[in-house]
A = this chain, B = another copy of it.
Amino acid sequence: MEKILRIDTGAAGGPKVSEEPLGQYAGLGGRALTSTLVAKEVPPLCHPLGAENKLVIAPGLLSGTVAAMSGRLSIGAKSPLTGGIKEANSGGQPAQVIARLGYAAIVIEGKPEGDDLYKIFINKDGVKITKDNSLKMLPNYDLVEKMKAEYGDKVAMISIGPAGEMKMGAASIACTDMELRPTRHAGRGGLGAVMGSKCIKVIVLDDTGMKMRSPKDPEKYKEANKKFVDGLRAHPVTGQGLPAYGTNVLTNILNEAGGYPTYNFKEGRFDKAHLISGETQAETEVARGGLATHGCHRGCVIRCSGSYHDKDGHFLTKQPEYETVWAHGGNCGICDLDAIAMLDFLDDNFGLDTIEMGVTIGVAMEAGIIPCGDAEGAIRLVKEVGQGTPLGRILGSGAAVTGRVFGVERVPVVKGQALPAYDPRAVQGIGVTYATSPMGADHTAGYAVATNILKVGGDVDPLKPEGQIELSRNLQIATAAIDSTGMCLFIAFALLDQPETFQALIDMLNAFYGLNLDAGGVADLGKMVLKTEREFNKKAGFTNAGDRLPRFFTTEPVAPHNITFGVKDEELDQVFNW
């Protein structure tokens, strides 16, 4: 992981490959690397789909090692959805494989003339890029099958579906899981469109013949990893809730808390939530021969995923995440788990962010395109996105554009990106994160739900503005650091409650790289990342006015608590004033 692989897609005569040492980027990984490289090399005012933008794919600092949970991949660029800097991150196998192949980052840059499509194969012998127009408009599942026939099944893949090829704002980048299915996605911010603009359909990765990355101090590393795993297993969220029911364990919890956005954020509680809860989902999965507990990448000890079978017992999709079940479910008044699973499959197959698509359909319902609660209509709409019909093009461009096109006022987006599954009026800490994160509305950027609702890492009343700024600030800093390690963000539950588990993570970093980091050093890394991202966004034209929720969250009270978002603008402006 001492090299950067660059692929210049705009070179005369076809894509050109070069390798270089990490150089100025030494010591960085994951989000710290993608954001630093984008900030240094991409002009903030460039067009996101132009030759000047760069797609940066970076495993985390501990990816490719024996460390548990270290399989997250960061993908960065200037976002076509927000117009700002973006890091979207994904589970699955590719991070481990890229790291073991020795690359700290793969940078896809330039822009080809014409519309030929390319596939990239990377193994221990090097990089091979091939024009392959037979892949055009292939959905991710078909694509993966085709590549498997060609390259065998000991590979991992990073790919785009038709949405990415059509350069849609909601287009994701898919990563294959342990079963070589395109189920894990760097979903947010339209990064699939950036990959599509570079005419790269798929990157096939094969680490055969490569070794696990070895730490400077193997003994200490092993020991720290063990403590780390013990901590994760001991915590109720990572040791019990997530394995048993997956992320969808949150449906009943958020609904009970009145923070479950229903009918395009009109209400905070969905009377049919029990029909789509994690409990119901797990029961359905097990009854049909699927799995309620499963890992998305080797080395995962939380195993919050699963597999969802259809009524006939055939695999339909991986266990839909809480945010997906919410976006396509309660947010649209839909309470049919099979329909939601089908929507999840279609999103994965076409290469679409499930949050953006669900919220977009909610906006389309508000515009009267289909009735609220119409599951069949929602499926039809997502199919139109995959086909690229004019209506599909609109919806595939995301909630903000859909709101513009249909003249809808109530559009839940920040910086052009759809709000996730927690109402910022009933969970005010997450509202601060939505408003201020350089990523646009993003729950993973500073998951204040943990402390507001789950009472992890303390207890801050979700209904009051007090304490939310500090909470979101600290979580955003910690998250930016964790996103740089390659670690799954879910480790944060244990880290927040167990000082010894946090220390184990620091010990791993120190043992691996021969460093002397302490908690302050980790925070400094997070601050550096946030500062870099904020500066990019400022040059791209963002001001504090972009760090605001849509106006209706401050004017429309939401049931059952009948409250509006109460954190003041001047307070929001203090989040990055540490």
By a beta-carbon cutoff of 8 Å, the part of chain A in contact with chain B is: 43-47, 49-50, 52, 80, 166-169, 193, 196-197, 389-391, 393-394, 397, 401, 404-409, 538-543, 545-546, 548, 550-552
Contact = CB atoms under 8 A, between A and B. Distances in A.
A400 B404 CA distance: 11
A542 B44 CA distance: 15
Given A393-B405, A397-B405, A545 B541 contact: yes
A49 to B, nearest CB: 5
B409 A47 contact: yes
A541 B80 CA distance: 19
Contacts of A52: 551
A214 B136 CA distance: 71
Contacts of A408: 49
A168 B394 contact: no
Ranked nearest first, the 8 interchain pairs of A and B with the lowest CB-CB distance are A167-B407, A541-B545, A390-B391, A390-B390, A47-B409, A393-B405, A49-B409, A397-B405
Contact of A540 (B404, B409, B545, B550): B545
A388 to B, nearest CB: 10
A203 B172 CA distance: 47
Contact of A407 (B43, B168, B390, B539): B168
B550 A545 contact: no
A166 B407 CA distance: 7
A370 to B, nearest CB: 13
Nearest to A164: B407
A414 to B, nearest CB: 12
B551 A46 contact: yes
Contacts of A401: 401, 404-405
Given A45-B548, A393-B406, 12 more contacts: A46-B551, A47-B551, A50-B409, A80-B404, A166-B407, A390-B391, A390-B393, A390-B394, A401-B404, A541-B542, A541-B545, A541-B546
Contacts of A46: 551
A539 B550 contact: no
